[in-house]
Structure 1
Amino acid sequence: MGGYLFFIPLFLFGLFILFSGIFTVKQQTAAVIERFGKFFRTRQSGLQFKIPGVDRIAGRINLKVQQLDVLVETKTKDDVFVRLKISVQFQVIKEKVYDAFYKLENPHDQITSYVFDVVRAEVPKMKLDDVFERKDDVAIAVKMELNEAMINYGYDIIKTLVTDIDPDVQVKAAMNRINAAEREKVAAEYEAEAERIKIVAKARAEAESKRLQGQGIADQRREIARGLEESVDVLNNVGINSQEASALIVVTQHYDTLQSIGEETNSNLILLPNSPQSGSNMLNDMIASFVASNQIGEEMKKTNAAKGITNKRKKRTPPPTESMYDDEYGTEE
């Protein structure tokens, strides 16, 4: 019974040693094992074992891709203060866990220092507009500098991104005003062009309307003249001469016009002689004017005929020559 009681503490001690030497490492994590205070080895994910009292876990390293956001305030070439947000994606190299664990006390501070150094060296060479247009150049410069520096410490820089560019508040307000003015200028140009197109189209439509209107008036007058000619021919056939026929047509049109005005309810007022005596006076005046015009025309024809005969005589009479002079007065010898 006493021997049995002796093995119980030994058994419990053995279980304690066994369980204290067993440990697990999570996925995408590396455990750094030290033996008597000196680096011994690294252990990857899974169930692992160490000698209790001899080996100890000095620390664990995250092997996942990590991201560090760094805010940097600097000045551009055109003296504009701007804040840039640089996102650095980095990862510990599995083969260099020792360097990543022992060479750097705080890798985040180291990366931040390099980002500040590169950004404040590159951005002051650019104007504000160039910073927006060439932000990828800034990101590439940061990545190259970080890779060169951090590879010796067991870190791989996967990607660097300029995720935000924030100028001073007054500068942003000025930029917004410039953009608004540019957009208003473009809008005004488009509105002016649209107005010009409307004016040109309206002018062309009016020109075409006037042309068609003129053509219609010409056709109308041509048909009226043709109708008058036919009316005069009809009246001549019944023994009415041209002057009387013309006068009769004019009087008829006069009364037709009065009738059409009377039929229109919203027509403007037009003053015309509309009494029978006025119509008779107008007819007599027209006949008298026609007779007078015919007489003047006959006189002009006679005058032109007389002038024509005189001109013909002048053309037929040749000018005097020396031979004619000699025949008339004789030749001096």
Structure 2
Amino acid sequence: MTAGIFVLVLLVVAVFALAQAVVVVKQGFEYTLERFGRFTTTLRPGFSLITPFVDRIGRKINMMEQVLDIPGQEIITKDNAIVAVDGVVFYQVLDAAKAAYEVSDLYSAIVNLTTTNLRTVMGSMDLDETLSKRDAINAKLLIVVDQATHPWGIKITRVELKDIRPPADIVNAMGRQMKAEREKRANILEAEGSRASAILRAEGAKQGQILEAEGRREAAFRDAEARERAAQAEATATELVSAAIANGNPQALNYFVAQKYVEAMTAFATSPNAKTIFMPIEASALVGSLGGIGELVKAVRPQGDAPAAPAPKGSGTPQVGQQRRIGPFE
């Protein structure tokens, strides 16, 4: 009976010792191993055997990257403006032994270190700089905090400011300033637009005047050319008539004068403003012109054609000084 109890006790102690000797470390963690309270080694993820009743697990360190919130706080800037700031810190443990034994409370130490350095960095800047240079603040904090936490076996990967909140009166002043600046830009753009529009209108008027002047110049050249050609044609006709007279044909001169006379009479008769025209007619000039035309016709008519019909009686030739009425009712 006693032997059975002893064996049972030994079995229980063996099972308990075996349970104490086997350690399973989860992925992403590392355990520190202490022997009689002194750090000896670090257990990696997986299965490990330790000496029961001699070795024990000291700290379970999370080796994954972690995020730590920085509580909001009020900071006085260089120009004596008070702003409320909060942020986050991303860090990762690289040495489990240092993170466990070099600092008492790792999380509290990181928060306090980041807060004090945040006050130092933003306190050396103006309000406008703190609002516009957030990336520069993050970079400075990252360098400072990472160097300070390096002995603790951790790596600060990122420091980010989540929010910067100026006082309400400063926000209102900034809003008015922004509105005034935008109105100034709008006025400048409007003035520049008016100026550009005026310049374009002036350029258009200038080009229009230039084109108009060029058009008048071209029209004048064309008119002069037309007059020159008309004069050449007139001169050619006159030369031909003169040549005909010189060759012994005086009837050509009579035909030329009669043609001009008829053209002048046609112009008077077809005038839109002339209903009735009174003008003196020199009978001898008209008879001479008509006679010349008749002689030309006789010279051109072939032999054997019938002579022209005699003029009706009563169609006497007006005498010199008489006036002939030409109108629609004649």
Query: Which whole-Å deviations, capped at 9, do the CAs of 1:21-42 have from their partners, x for residues lacking one?
Result: 2111123322123344454543
Higher helix share: 1
**Which TM-score applies when normalising by structure 2?**
0.59
The secondary structure found in structure 1 opposite 2:257 is coil
49-58 vs 159-168, greater mean Cα deviation = 159-168
The secondary structure found in structure 2 opposite 1:48 is strand
**Which TM-score applies when normalising by structure 1?**
0.59
The secondary structure found in structure 1 opposite 2:186 is helix
Letter of the structure 2 residue corresponding to residue 239 of structure 1: V
Of the candidates 198, 208, 211, which is equivalent to residue 209 of structure 1?
A: 211
**Count of residue pairs the alignment pairs up:** 260
Partner of 2:311: none
Partner of 1:77: 78
Partner of 2:149: 150
Letter of the structure 1 residue corresponding to residue 78 of structure 2: K
Q: Is the 8 A contact 2:98 2:151 kept in 1?
A: yes
Partner of 2:21: 21
Aligned mates of 1:232, 1:225 — CA distance in 2: 10
Aligned mates of 1:249, 1:84 — CA distance in 2: 105
Aligned mates of 2:121, 2:166 — CA distance in 1: 16
The equivalences for 1:313-324 within 5 A come to: none
User: Shift in Å at residue 246 of structure 1?
Assistant: 11
Aligned mates of 1:123, 1:184 — CA distance in 2: 34
Partner of 1:61: 61
- Structure 1 portions without partners, runs of 5+: 259-273, 285-333
23-32 vs 213-222, greater mean Cα deviation = 213-222
Partner of 1:239: 257
Letter of the structure 1 residue corresponding to residue 92 of structure 2: Q
The equivalences for 1:62-211 within 5 A come to: 62-70=62-70, 71-94=72-95, 97-132=96-131, 134-162=133-161, 165-168=164-167, 169-170=171-172, 173-174=175-176, 176-177=178-179, 180-181=182-183, 184=186, 187-188=189-190, 191-192=193-194, 194-196=196-198, 198-211=200-213
The secondary structure found in structure 2 opposite 1:104 is coil
User: Shift in Å at residue 45 of structure 1?
Assistant: 1.9
Letter of the structure 1 residue corresponding to residue 23 of structure 2: F
Query: Which whole-Å deviations, capped at 9, do the CAs of 1:129-167 have from their partners, x for residues lacking one?
Result: 433554444334323432343233333334434565554
Q: Is the 8 A contact 2:268 2:274 kept in 1?
A: no
Letter of the structure 2 residue corresponding to residue 209 of structure 1: L
Query: Which whole-Å deviations, capped at 9, do the CAs of 1:72-98 have from their partners, x for residues lacking one?
Result: 54243344444445443322232xx33
The equivalences for 1:25-40 within 5 A come to: 25-40=25-40
User: Shift in Å at residue 43 of structure 1?
Assistant: 1.9
Give the percent of matched residue pairs that are identical in Structure 1 and Structure 2. Answer: 22
Query: Which whole-Å deviations, capped at 9, do the CAs of 1:215-247 have from their partners, x for residues lacking one?
Result: 2542464366457757977799633899x8997
Letter of the structure 1 residue corresponding to residue 57 of structure 2: I
Seen in structure 2, the aligned counterparts of structure 1 residues 85 and 185 have a Cα distance that, compared at 3 Å, is: farther
Q: Is the 8 A contact 2:73 2:84 kept in 1?
A: yes
Seen in structure 2, the aligned counterparts of structure 1 residues 245 and 167 have a Cα distance that, compared at 3 Å, is: farther
Seen in structure 2, the aligned counterparts of structure 1 residues 106 and 240 have a Cα distance that, compared at 3 Å, is: farther
Q: Is the 8 A contact 1:87 1:162 kept in 2?
A: yes
The secondary structure found in structure 2 opposite 1:115 is helix
Partner of 1:330: none
Partner of 1:42: 42
Q: Is the 8 A contact 2:121 2:141 kept in 1?
A: no
Q: Is the 8 A contact 1:232 1:246 kept in 2?
A: no
Query: Which whole-Å deviations, capped at 9, do the CAs of 1:39-72 have from their partners, x for residues lacking one?
Result: 4543222212234444332321112232334345
Aligned mates of 1:114, 1:40 — CA distance in 2: 29
The secondary structure found in structure 2 opposite 1:239 is helix
Aligned mates of 1:179, 1:48 — CA distance in 2: 69
Seen in structure 2, the aligned counterparts of structure 1 residues 241 and 65 have a Cα distance that, compared at 3 Å, is: same
User: Shift in Å at residue 193 of structure 1?
Assistant: 5.8
Q: Is the 8 A contact 1:29 1:63 kept in 2?
A: yes
Seen in structure 2, the aligned counterparts of structure 1 residues 145 and 195 have a Cα distance that, compared at 3 Å, is: same
Letter of the structure 2 residue corresponding to residue 155 of structure 1: I
Aligned mates of 2:112, 2:143 — CA distance in 1: 14
Seen in structure 2, the aligned counterparts of structure 1 residues 119 and 198 have a Cα distance that, compared at 3 Å, is: same
The equivalences for 1:219-298 within 5 A come to: 219=221, 221-222=223-224, 225-226=227-228, 229=231, 238-239=256-257, 251=268, 255=271, 258=272, 274-277=273-276, 280=277
RMSD of equivalent CA atoms: 4.3
